[in-house]
Amino acid sequence: MATYDLEEQEKIDGLKSWWETYGTLVIVVVATLIASMAGVKAWNYYQQQQIEQAAELYSSLLQIEPSGDPKKIGDAAHLLMEGFPGSGYASRAALISARASLEGGDVQNAKSRLQWTLDNTKEDELKDLVRLRLAGILLDEQKYDDALRLLDSKHGDSFDGLYADLKGDVLIAAGKVAEARAAYHKALDRMGKKGTYHNIVQMKLDALAEAK
- The overall pTM is greater than 0.85: no
The CATH number of residue 174's host domain is 1.25.40.10
pLDDT tens string 77-127: 998 899 888 888 899 999 999 999 999 999 999 999 999 999 999 999 999
The tally of domains found in the chain comes to 2
Cα dihedral angle (192, 198, 199, 202), rounded to 10 degrees? Answer: -110
DSSP state of 142: T
Is there a single domain that holds both residue 206 and residue 131?
yes
Q: Among 77, 99, 122, identify where a domain stops.
A: 122
> Residue 194 phi/psi, 5° resolution?
-125, 165
Structural domain for 118, as ranges: 17-122
C-alpha 76/C-alpha 97 separation (Å) is 9
Is there a single domain that holds both residue 176 and residue 93?
no
The larger pLDDT score, comparing residue 42 to residue 98, is at 98
Is there a single domain that holds both residue 66 and residue 51?
yes
Give domain status of residue 2, yes or no.
no
Q: Going by C-beta distance under 8 Å and a sequence separation of 6 or more, which residues neighbour residue 131?
A: 118, 150, 151, 153, 155, 163
Query: What pLDDT is attached to residue 127?
Result: 95
Q: Among 98, 122, 146, identify where a domain stops.
A: 122
105: region left, alpha or beta (phi > 0 left; psi from -120 to 50 alpha): left
Mean pLDDT confidence for 126-147: 96
